């Protein structure tokens, strides 16, 4: 993520900031991709601390308007959890906007989010929520915005990584597949790379949970082995992880061997070059984390088959307009 500054005093501002140290209110304009002054503010600014601009006063911003269902805010921790989940959503949408997704110039469909909580206010009873995508609707369990709950589930599932940003990247990847599927040649090329997505999805998931497979050389995670749709979603999520890590590193003006000066990850056209630079950065940051006895920033291995899949996804996501998607 790029660096931002206060439009009034020029002091550094962070993506989610509501106010600068100078006292100026900060409003993020997702179209201009910068902090602005004197802009209409999202209706959710006070309730869930959304700092994005709105089309007009009293309206929701681009991100909040995509959430068609939200939890009952006065129940339990729902307001805090929704605020955290929506913050992750805004981050991911801002990333995708750098490749022209969901901007004013993008004529395609927008996703609809069902932001649900396990706590419905019925005492000890909790709502069972399955995160996923179907027909343009993305279901997100905001309960996982609680870090402790998310960590427990990560350990239970034996996952190397689990985050709200990761959930949004994965589920949005399913939506992006549907957008791309109308483009000429996409499905033919997709099936040659990931397999036939028309294979029975329910049966594939059942087989996966009954007999999980090792990712081996061909998949980025074990879950990616379940079905071509999940291989695609995991691959896209990791493309977005690595692109944004690289962009964030370079925006701080840090330098290291293997990383060109003034490098712009989202502008890169060569996905293999992007992945090589990202690998240099993640290895270095992994070493820093280990010095503090923290988990690796990026505990995954980019094999050549995985790199080729990420390169395929990069070509379509970055160039979707030119390819008729």
pLDDT in tens, 280-304: 999 999 999 999 999 888 889 899 9
pLDDT of residue 248: 93
pLDDT over 80 (residue 305): yes
pLDDT confidence of 124, banded at 50, 70, 90?
low
The pLDDT tens digits of the residues spanning 48-72 come to 999 999 999 999 999 999 999 999 9
228-246: b (≥16 Cβ within 10 Å) or e: bbbbbbbbbbbbbbbbbbb
Mean pLDDT in the chain? 93
> Predicted confidence band at 130 (pLDDT cuts at 50, 70, 90)?
very high
- HEC per residue, 70-109: CCCCCCCCHHHHHHHHHHHHHHHHHHHHCCCCCCCCCCCC
Higher pLDDT, 137 or 151: 137
User: Does pLDDT of 123 surpass 70?
Assistant: no
Extents of the domains making up the chain: 61-171, 182-324
Indicate the pTM of the whole model: 0.93
Alpha-carbon gap, residue 83 to 63, rounded angstroms: 12
Confidence of residue 120 (pLDDT cuts 50, 70, 90): confident
Could you tell me where the DSSP H helices lie in 98-163? 147-157
Which residue(s) pair with 139 in the sheet? Answer: 114, 132
Distance CA 126, CA 124 (A): 6
């Amino acid at each position: 993520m790029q660096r931002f500054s206060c439009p009034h005093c020029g002091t550094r501002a962070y993506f989610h900031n509501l106010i600068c140290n100078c006292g100026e209110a900060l409003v993020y304009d997702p179209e201009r991709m910068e902090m602005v002054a004197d802009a209409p503010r999202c209706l959710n600014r006070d309730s869930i601390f959304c700092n994005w601009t709105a089309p007009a006063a009293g309206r929701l911003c681009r991100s909040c308007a995509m959430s068609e269902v939200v939890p009952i805010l006065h129940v339990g921790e729902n307001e805090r959890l929704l605020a955290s989940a929506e913050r992750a959503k805004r981050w991911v949408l801002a990333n995708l906007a750098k490749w022209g997704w969901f901007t004013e110039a993008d004529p395609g469909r927008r996703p609809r989010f069902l932001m649900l909580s396990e706590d419905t206010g019925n005492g000890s009873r909790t709502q069972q929520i399955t995160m996923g995508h179907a027909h343009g609707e993305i279901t997100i369990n905001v309960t996982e915005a609680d870090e402790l709950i998310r960590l427990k589930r990560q350990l239970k599932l034996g996952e190397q990584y689990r985050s709200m940003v990761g959930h949004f990247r994965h589920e949005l990847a399913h939506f992006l597949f549907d957008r791309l599927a109308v483009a000429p040649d996409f499905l033919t090329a997709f099936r040659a790379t990931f397999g036939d997505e028309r294979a029975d999805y329910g049966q594939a998931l059942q087989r996966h949970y009954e007999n999980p497979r090792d990712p081996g050389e061909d998949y980025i995670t074990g879950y990616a082995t379940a079905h071509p749709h999940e291989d695609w979603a995991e691959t896209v999520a990791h493309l977005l992880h690595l692109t944004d890590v690289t962009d964030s590193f370079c925006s701080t003006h840090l330098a290291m061997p293997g990383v060109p000066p003034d490098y712009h990850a989202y502008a890169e056209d060569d996905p293999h070059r992007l992945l090589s630079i990202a690998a240099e950065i993640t290895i270095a940051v992994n070493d820093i984390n280990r010095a503090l006895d923290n988990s690796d920033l990026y505990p995954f291995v980019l094999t050549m088959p995985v790199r080729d899949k990420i390169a395929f996804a990069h070509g379509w996501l970055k160039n979707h307009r030119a390819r008729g998607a």
